[in-house]
Structure 1
Amino acid sequence: MRRTFANAFDLFSNCVFWLPTFYLTAWSIFPEVFMGFSYTTVITLNSFASLFGSLIGLPTILWIAQSWRLGTGLCSGRKGFDRAYPIVVSLGAAFNSLVTFPSLFVVEKNYAASLAITFLVALGGAADACLSQQMMLMVLPTTARSSAFALSRLTVAVIGIPAAQLVAVVSDVLRGSSTLPLDRFRAYQLGLLCSSSFLVVSALCFAALVYFFPLDCKRAQEEDERSALIDKPKPRSESMIESIIRSRATTVNS
């Protein structure tokens, strides 16, 4: 449940709906910043920057986290650390929140720097992407995983789906009755900034998991052990064919 609330606060991922419009407005007002690139090229380069950040971050962060937790690979020869996963995820969330804030302001100053920050945002988000589901499986008894995942999806959807609409409402309020392109850009900028502030809350929730994670894992293991003892598999009954053959053999022998 703690893992669900940590993800539910990560609303900025649902606000990417407005990023193409945000970049279009910036590209229209500050064309010199984008080095003569067309809007289509700008969006394509942003997508590639995010893709490369994810491709590099996912295997690298997963390898570091597993090495730290199991005492292998990078941490070979050292004792495993139970809190490795939540620490890595909380650090990734904190890093993601730190680089997201400047990404909303650098776009009007230097496009090359904006691309670099886009890469870093995807790199920081890779920690949650590659470890969050694994962490949830580890803290849940096998008998409760389906319902827990369903509840997690429902909570994230209920809280996260209206995020794009909230950004629109905040932007409209901040812009007021102005029709100037620069005012529209500032409204989008501040609206996305307000939504990205939830990344800080998400990072704090993940940080709280550092304390609770080993305890929850232990409880899940104990619950699985109890279930295994109570629901101990019974020996399989012989089939109908085996029963008939055995009865015939008894008749013949007699």
Structure 2
Amino acid sequence: MEKGTLNSTTSKRFLPYYWEELKKLLRPAGPLVVCAVYSFVLIFPRYHRKLFRLNLFERQFRLPEKMAVDGLWFLLLPVVIILILRLISIAWPKIKETFPQHRFRDFGFRLGRGVGWRDVAIFFAIMLGFVLFAVFQKDFARTYPLFELARESLNVFLIWEAVHLLHMFGWEFLNRGFLLFGLEPKLGRWAILASAIPFALLHIGKPELEAYGSFIAAIALGWLALRSRSFLPCVFLHWAVAFTMDLLAIIRSGGFA
């Protein structure tokens, strides 16, 4: 009888103990999953972009087509992951202990606080000085616009910038939405620095000044995203700076062909 009681007691203690141990193992899984998905989203289209080809442009528009496809990919896969987390959280509420973010708004899908948009104007004014300096550097003048045919006419330029905006939306969601807000619960404000590192590394190959500046820009964009609780101000700021850079580079080279 005592033996049976002992086994019963041990059984009751055994399951809760290992359940608690399992939860301890799963607690850091949230940021690890975010980083794994982030890496996959960046790597996969480099080798399999043809799977996502959109025949929206003629042959000479291949770069905008590539940018559009990449932007959609950067956006869609994390969205699918968030949807899966959302469904799991409904069926199994305890998953929230591992993945506190399980709603789109948790990853910055919201308009943001008004102060964020005010900060966009301030940051843009600051960045404008750097842009004016950069367009007089030879490596920037040779690099921008990334799409060479954008120099040919205003119409092509506007098409390019519209596609660039789509790309920026997906790019900023991936970096300042999915990655930054995905790391924030465990890292707090240090998530800004953590997300800035891969962002800067992805600028290797760009003009040297831009490569170094991308790390500082990533910290500023991360701060803006957390302050406004939205990645949308970052989309507009990043695109506005790129648009201005392209336009000034064309003007400096003599205008549209």
Mark yes or no: TM-score above 0.5: no
Q: Higher relative contact order by CA 8 Å / sep ≥ 6: 1 or 2?
A: 1
TM-score, normalization by structure 2: 0.32
TM-score, normalization by structure 1: 0.32
